[in-house]
Chain A
Amino acid sequence: MTPALQTSELSRSYGRLVALESLSVTVAAGECVALIGANGSGKSTAVRAIAGLLELSGGWVRVGGYDPHREPEAEDARAALSLVPDAPVLYDDLTVRHHLQLVALSHDVAGDDVEARIDALLARLGLTARADFLPRELSRGTRQKTQLACALIRPAALLVLDEPVVGLDPPSQALLHELLIERKRAGTAVLLTTHQLTFGDGLADRAVRLEEGVVVDEGPWAEVREGVKGHGWASP
């Protein structure tokens, strides 16, 4: 079976600056891998490169066996990958519900029960009362939840989340943790970046630690988390 995500020697430079160098990672279905590291360590670059939003300087990526950088094959990679970027990106003139409808349509979420599924997800994320609000009427945290809802409303073989808890209050963080564990159990692969190590507890199976774009440690979550303590990372 093809892994949900496979990268080999993934590299990205901006002129002289090497943002990411030789990242090789595989995420199988039902597995969660966390990318951790300080600011500027290359986590977001990795996520963007995997999602096909950044060109590669070297190496390759396969999402569900498809190359997200080569059209038209990339369409299949995009169907398999659901991305939550580090900051919410929403249309100014679409409400929360409209965003979910658009995502459902563009990802072929078919069936008569689409609206019911949207309602259920909105309720689960505590967004029902805000369903008909425009992004400018929402708080940062609520916009982040809308972005999460966009990623969760459709089926995906790989869920990629870049700092998903930024802007979320503790109950919402706990809810997201729960939702991701559910997705994992259902067979979805998860790749997430986080500064908040407690968020990975009970969720991440493995971790990759980046420093200056280079992998400096990788292995089971608990071991990498323990190793991080000596590098200025307090718990949580």
Chain B
Amino acid sequence: MGVAVAARPAAAAEQRLARVRAWWRVRNPPRTLLQRLDLLYTGALVSAIFGALAYGTASSALAQVVTPHWLAATGPALALLALLLTSHWGVYQGPVVFSVADVAHLLGAPLPRRGLAARRLMLALAGGAAAGAIAAGVVIVGLAGGGRGIAAADAAGLALGLAELGILGVAFAWAVESSDRWERAAQRATWPTILAAAGLAAAARAGTAGREIALWSGPWGWGVQPAAGAGDLQSLAALLLLTLATAVAARAAVRGCGHAPAERHLRRAEARASAVVALASYDARRARRALETVGARDGRHGARLRRPRTPALAIPWRDTVAALRTPGRIVEGAALAGAGTVLALLEADRPVAVLVAVLVVYLGAARTIWPLRAELDLPARARVLLLPRLGQVLLAHAAVPVVVTTSAAALAAAGCAAAGALPTHGAAAALLAVAGTPMLCLCAGMSARREGRLPPSLLALAAGADPSGGGSLMSAWLAFWPAVAATLGAVPILLAAAPVVAVAWTLMATAVLVALLARD
């Protein structure tokens, strides 16, 4: 027995899609013209009122930072990082978004996928252009602030350049979303791109030649040229190049918009649905884990390590095996810890910079401490290790992160010393920065210990007693341990001139944190 299924003409599929859309519009009618005008009017009114109020402050604040020289020195690197972020958006979600039900009922129907995806992609491309134009607006406010003013042609050129970069970013995100090959490439390019951005920033600050290299290094440089002090002809050439690149990328994106496998849409739809549920219960960590399942890659399975003879080393052994299987996390954690230490030592006389630097080290520690989070968030996976008391387990989990981040901090400090870049009281500051790193790991452990979900008591308090509607209390809860870490870590470096006090502070803080983490 068999069955004959006649092939359907493409026009019939398009008609079917048009009928489905018409039916959908009846079920979910779009806003009427009057409603849209009303929304536009309200938006314009609110922008005018608050814009006028905020403009003066924003303009003078931005004017202190955003200058044509700053734009030329930092703009290409920032634009490159923005493109990198957009590509990562493609790894975890992307511009063409379907719900799980869409995947089942629309992508599962004999409807043209190109037609289903194209409209979403066009909207996203328009959104990218709008986001770029808004970013340009902010930069223009800064450039024109402080009584400097800005030529209309330069402003228009920058707006066009950044809008085109927005389109380019969305087109790139779609390539990443729809193709496994592009997704892998985007993930592998993360650190090289960050290093390239740092290199561009350094080159642009080094002199005119470096600045020219940064401005011509790619679309990220072409887009900022009109307001970065480049000549009119040069800016025009750069914009033409960018327009060409954007047109090619947008055309390729639109042409390929029917070819993404349903599995890629389904994985993203399921992850988004889980993340939304997690966020509804203020569980940011579960939301992040849900989204991470989309871009998850298999770790190295070949990593082997001889089992320890003593049970006390079981958890550090398990964490070391995990680190060997996912070396990216460890490298990132170590890189952040090293970079933070370098920044803290180079800017040791500026308290704000030291606070920021210590936060960077804290982020590195938080990156390396994920087995501890897994212990708390995924007890089913880690139950075997929960036989000892919880406090001991958590403390043992801090061992590998402490070794990794402290080693990275020590290497970074040694590098600074070798380069002769240590400040006054430099040796003491370097030793204190390294000695303070375990504190930051313990703070990251304490933060992880709270688990990802906001406690119901806090939610109740936030809803009842917080005049901001809960926002400030919840933000304070989230920022608590990073703030503690920044304070505990920055104080000894800033007190390097009084080493006895600084050492006492470090020892006391570390002992208190150990006791807190080790409690059951």
Tell me if B152 is interfacial: C-beta within 8 Å of chain A: no
Q: How far is the CB of A5 from chain B (nearest CB, A)?
A: 9
Does B8 lie within 8 Å of A106, measured CB to CB?
no
Tell me if B138 is interfacial: C-beta within 8 Å of chain A: no
Does A157 lie within 8 Å of B3, measured CB to CB?
yes
Q: Which of A53, A85, A91, A157 lies in contact with B5, CB distance below 8 A?
A: A157
Does B301 lie within 8 Å of A16, measured CB to CB?
yes
B-chain residues with CB within 8 Å of residue A64 when the two chains form the complex = 3-5
Chain A, interface residues (CB within 8 Å), range:
35 or more
The total of Cβ contacts below 8 Å across the A-B interface reads 117
B-chain residues with CB within 8 Å of residue A54 when the two chains form the complex = 263
A-chain residues with CB within 8 Å of residue B7 when the two chains form the complex = 66, 76
A-chain residues with CB within 8 Å of residue B4 when the two chains form the complex = 1-2, 64
| Contacts known (A103-B105, A106-B106); A98 close to B258, Cβ less than 8 A | no
Does A75 lie within 8 Å of B8, measured CB to CB?
yes
| Contacts known (A28-B2, A65-B5, A106-B16); A91 close to B23, Cβ less than 8 A | no
Does A1 lie within 8 Å of B2, measured CB to CB?
yes
Q: How far is the CB of B216 from chain A (nearest CB, A)?
A: 39
Tell me if A121 is interfacial: C-beta within 8 Å of chain B: no
Does B5 lie within 8 Å of A1, measured CB to CB?
no
| Contacts known (A55-B263, A66-B5, A150-B105); A98 close to B27, Cβ less than 8 A | yes
Give the nearest-CB partner of A5 in chain B. B3
Does A29 lie within 8 Å of B5, measured CB to CB?
no
What does the 1/0 interface line of A49-91 toward B look like (CB < 8 Å)? 0011111000000001110010110111011100101000111
Give the nearest-CB partner of B19 in chain A. A105
Q: How far is the CA of A2 from the CA of B99 in the complex (A)?
A: 34
Residue count of chain B within 8 Å CB distance of chain A: 39
A-chain residues with CB within 8 Å of residue B286 when the two chains form the complex = none
| Chain A at the B interface: SS class | loop
Does B8 lie within 8 Å of A89, measured CB to CB?
no
Does A52 lie within 8 Å of B262, measured CB to CB?
yes
Please provide the chain B residues from 1 to 45 with a CB less than 8 Å away from any CB of chain A in the complex.
Answer: 1-5, 7-8, 10, 12-13, 16, 19-20, 23-24, 27-28
| Contacts known (A76-B7, A91-B105); A16 close to B19, Cβ less than 8 A | no
Q: How far is the CA of A158 from the CA of B106 in the complex (A)?
A: 18
Q: How far is the CA of A55 from the CA of B260 in the complex (A)?
A: 11
Q: How far is the CB of B61 from chain A (nearest CB, A)?
A: 43
Does A2 lie within 8 Å of B3, measured CB to CB?
yes
Tell me if B507 is interfacial: C-beta within 8 Å of chain A: no
A-chain residues with CB within 8 Å of residue B10 when the two chains form the complex = 72
Q: How far is the CB of A83 from chain B (nearest CB, A)?
A: 6
Q: How far is the CA of A31 from the CA of B24 in the complex (A)?
A: 36
Q: Which of B19, B104, B112 lies in contact with A75, CB distance below 8 A?
A: B112
Q: How far is the CA of A75 from the CA of B99 in the complex (A)?
A: 20
What residues of chain B have their CB less than 8 Å away from a CB belonging to chain A? 1-5, 7-8, 10, 12-13, 16, 19-20, 23-24, 27-28, 99-101, 103-106, 108-114, 258-259, 261-263, 266, 298, 301
- 15 A–B contacts from the bound complex (CB under 8 Å): A29-B3, A31-B1, A52-B262, A53-B108, A66-B5, A71-B259, A72-B13, A75-B111, A75-B113, A80-B5, A89-B104, A105-B23, A108-B110, A157-B5, A187-B1
Given contacts A31-B1, A72-B13, A75-B8, 8 further A-B contacts (CB under 8 A): A2-B3, A15-B301, A64-B5, A71-B259, A75-B112, A91-B101, A103-B109, A108-B16
Going nearest first, the 6 A-B pairs with the smallest beta carbon separation are A1-B2, A64-B5, A15-B298, A79-B110, A106-B109, A29-B3
What residues of chain A have their CB less than 8 Å away from a CB belonging to chain B? 1-4, 15-16, 28-31, 51-55, 64-66, 69, 71-72, 74-76, 78-80, 83, 85, 89-94, 98-99, 101-103, 105-108, 150, 157-158, 187, 189
